Chains A and B, each alone.
Chain A
Amino acid sequence: MESSVQMPAPPPAPKPPVAGKQPTGAVEGSATWRLSDRIGLAICWALGLLFCAIAVAIVVYLLIQGLSYLKPSMLVTPAASGFSQGESGGFSDALIGTMIVAVMGLALALPAGIAIAVWLVEYGRPAALARITESTIEAIAGIPSIVLALFGTVIFSDVLLGFLSRSSEGVVFGRSFFAASAMLSLVALPLIVASTREGLNSIPRHVREASYAVGKTKAATTRRILIPTSRPQIATGAMLGLGRIIGDTAIILVLLGATQNFAPVEGAPFPLNYLRGAGTTLTNFVYEASPTGNLNQPQKAYAAAFVLLLLVLALNAAVDVVHRRARKVGTWSH
C-alpha cells in the first residue's frame, strides 16, 4: 500500500521481497505452472485423499463389524474350547495379556530409552561410541520383530534364565510374559530414544548454561530441567512405543506360547505364576480367530480387532492431549 503511491511511473517494478519473509505471493496459484508440476501436485492431493479414505474405511468397517459382533460378555469371559462360536467364550485373557505386556514392556523400555537418549545427547563421548550406539538402535528399529522373537527363544531358553519361564527336568520352556515383554521392549525402545532425543535437542544450549551458571551440576540440570522439559516428547515416544507393543504379533506368537488362556506356573507366588507362564494377547487372538488361525471364528476376530483398534486410537488421542498441554507451557523465543 505505502510503496505503491510513489512508485516510479515507467515500468511496474516487481515488488521487493519483504525482509525476513519468503516471497510467498508467487507460489500461491498453480495455474501458471508447467504441466508436469501440476500433475505432480494433483498426485500429491489424490494420494493424500486416498490415504484418508483407506484409514476411514478401516475404522468404519471395524466399527460396524465390531459393534455388531462385540458382546460385553466377551470382555470378561476367557476363551474356552468349544465347537460353535457360542460355546467358545470371549477373549478376556487376551485383553488382560495385552495390558500385561504393555505395562511390562514399557516399564523396561521407558527408563532405558530415556537413559540412552540422555547419554547420546548430553554426553555422547567418545564420539565413535555414540555413533555405534546410534546405529545399533537404528538396527534394532529395523529388525523384523519375528527375528527378535527367534532370538528371544534362544536367550530365554537358557538354563540361567529358567526362572523367567516354565522349566521342567532341566529343560526351559522359554516362553512367558517376561520373555515376550523383554523382547517387546526392544521394539518400543528405538521410538522412545528417538523422541526423547528430539526433546532434548530442542532445548537451546543457553538454557543448559543458565542452569550451570547458577551453580547446578550437569546431573541436576538433566534431572530437574532437561528431562522435565522433554516430557511431552518422552510421552509421545512412550505412546508410540506402546502402540507398537500392543500391535506386535510375531513376538507374542513365538515367545508367549501357543495358547488362548493364561497358563500360570504352579507353585510360584501370585503375580509371578502368571508372568512366568504362557498367555495370549489381542493380536494373537485376532490371528488365531481369523480364518487363517486354529479357532476360525472370524466374528470374534472382528470383535477383538475392534477393541485393539480402540486401544490404539486412545493412545493416539493421548499423544495429542500431551502435545496440546505442552504448548500451554510455552517455549523459548528461538
Chain B
Amino acid sequence: MESLKSPPPPIRRLPLEDPAPAREAAPAPARSGGAPTAPGGFTAARRSIGAPQFSIRRMEVDDVTISYGPKQAVKGVSLPIRQGEVLSLIGPSGCGKTTLLRSLNRLTELTSSAKLEGRILLDEVDIRLIEPTLLRRRVTMVFQQPNPFPMSVFDNIAYVLREQGSRRQRKKTLEPAVHSALERAGLFEEVKDNLDHPALKLSGGQQQRLCIARALAAQPEVLLLDEPCSALDPQSTQVIEDLIVKLRDDVAVVIVTHNLQQAYRIADHVAFMYLGDLVEYNSATTLFGSPREKRTQEYVSGAFG
C-alpha cells in the first residue's frame, strides 16, 4: 500500500540483537590499539562472539603481487592468517580480495595469465613448493554459489575422502568420516536420514553447509570462504555465520565478504583492500570503531550511510 516513490526498505540494517550482551565485557584483542569508540551506530550490531582464545599463525602472505597481464589485481599485500580467529577480507568489487583468497590455494593458477610475485607461506613452507593437490587439501575453499556435486549427500563428502583415482571404497569404511564432516558443518542432524538423497535437492543454506562439510572433510588447516552467504537468505546466513565462528578454533578461517555487518559480526581481524592495495589490516573492533586510515573510515561509514 505504499506509494511508488517510497524508498526501498534498508536491507543492510539487520537489527541483530546480541544474544549474550555479557560477552561485551570480553577484552578486545591486544593488537587493537585505540579504544573501540564506534561511530555511526556500529555498536548497535555488536559482535556476538568473544575474543579468540588463542591464535596460531598458519599462513603468511608476504609482499604478494598478483597480476593478470599488465593489470595488477593485488599489490604488495602482507598479512598473517591465524588459526583460532576469523580473518575477513573486505573492500569494494574489483579490489582484489577474491584474487588474494584464490591465490592462497593456488586456484589463481587456473587462469594461465595470472602471475604471482612475493611469497605465501603455509606453516613456514612456500606454497609454490607444495604440490597443488596436496596444498588444496590443506587449504580448502567454499564458493559464493552453493555448488554440491550432482550426486548424493553422502557421495559429495565421500568424493573428497577417496584417494586420487582409487576404486570405490566400501561405503562402511567411509561412513564415520562422512558423518563427522557433516557434524562439524552442523548438517548431520538434518540430513542423517537422507544421506542418499541428491545433494542438489537440499535448500540453499543446507547446500552451502554441505559445501563447508565437503571442504572440512579434507581435514584442512585453512578454510577459505568466498562470499559464502551472498546467495542465501538471512536465516541461513545466521546459521553459517555461527558455524564459521565455531570453526575458527580448528581451522584458520579466511572469509571474503561484501557485507560489512557480516565482517563486523564474525571477524576477529579485518583486512580492507582497495584497488589492489591493502589499506588497513586491523582487529575488527578497531577497524570498524576507529580506523587508522581515512579511506577505511570513508568506506566503512559510507557503506552504512
Please determine whether A214 and B145 come into contact, CB atoms closer than 8 angstroms: no
Beyond A204-B147, A229-B150, whether A215 also contacts B3 by CB under 8 A is: no
Q: How large is the interface on B (under 10, 10 to 19, 20 to 34, 35 or more residues)?
A: 35 or more
Task: Please pick, from B133, B201, B204, the residue contacting A333 in the complex, using a CB distance under 8 A.
Answer: B204
A334–B144 alpha-carbon span in the complex (Å): 12
Interface: B299 (CB within 8 A): no
A334–B151 alpha-carbon span in the complex (Å): 18
Contact partners of A220 in chain B: CB under 8 A = 164-165
Contact partners of B218 in chain A: CB under 8 A = 214-215
Beyond A212-B107, A330-B201, whether A217 also contacts B159 by CB under 8 A is: no
CB distance from B193 to the nearest CB of A (A): 19
Beyond A2-B1, A215-B137, whether A330 also contacts B215 by CB under 8 A is: no
Please determine whether B150 and A329 come into contact, CB atoms closer than 8 angstroms: yes
Interface: B140 (CB within 8 A): yes
CB distance from B214 to the nearest CB of A (A): 6
Interface: B231 (CB within 8 A): yes
Task: Please pick, from A3, A204, A210, A332, the residue contacting B200 in the complex, using a CB distance under 8 A.
Answer: A332
Q: How large is the interface on A (under 10, 10 to 19, 20 to 34, 35 or more residues)?
A: 20 to 34
Please determine whether A209 and B4 come into contact, CB atoms closer than 8 angstroms: no
Interface: B211 (CB within 8 A): yes
Please determine whether A331 and B143 come into contact, CB atoms closer than 8 angstroms: no
Interface: A6 (CB within 8 A): yes
Interface: B84 (CB within 8 A): no
Q: What are some 12 contacts across the A-B interface (CB < 8 A)?
A: A5-B1, A204-B145, A207-B147, A210-B214, A213-B141, A213-B143, A214-B217, A215-B160, A216-B133, A216-B160, A331-B200, A332-B145
Closest B residue to A224 by CB, please name it: B159
Interface: A296 (CB within 8 A): no
A219–B143 alpha-carbon span in the complex (Å): 21
Beyond A209-B110, A216-B164, A224-B159, whether A333 also contacts B214 by CB under 8 A is: no
Please determine whether A329 and B200 come into contact, CB atoms closer than 8 angstroms: yes
Interface: B134 (CB within 8 A): yes
Contact partners of B133 in chain A: CB under 8 A = 215-217
Interface of A is mostly: helix
- Give the interface of B toward A (CB within 8 A): 1-4, 105, 107, 110, 132-137, 140-141, 143-147, 149-151, 159-160, 164-165, 198, 200-201, 204, 211, 214-215, 217-218, 224, 231
Closest B residue to A209 by CB, please name it: B107
Beyond A3-B4, A212-B110, A214-B217, whether A228 also contacts B151 by CB under 8 A is: yes
A181–B200 alpha-carbon span in the complex (Å): 40
In chain A, positions 279-334 with a C-beta closer than 8 Å to chain B are: 328-334
Contact partners of B1 in chain A: CB under 8 A = 2, 5-6
Contact partners of A216 in chain B: CB under 8 A = 133, 159-160, 164
Please determine whether B150 and A214 come into contact, CB atoms closer than 8 angstroms: no
A220–B137 alpha-carbon span in the complex (Å): 14
Beyond A209-B110, A328-B198, A334-B145, whether A214 also contacts B136 by CB under 8 A is: yes
4 tightest A-B CB contacts, nearest first: A330-B200, A215-B137, A213-B141, A215-B136
Interface: A211 (CB within 8 A): yes
Closest B residue to A211 by CB, please name it: B149
Interface: A21 (CB within 8 A): no
A300–B198 alpha-carbon span in the complex (Å): 49
A219–B166 alpha-carbon span in the complex (Å): 12
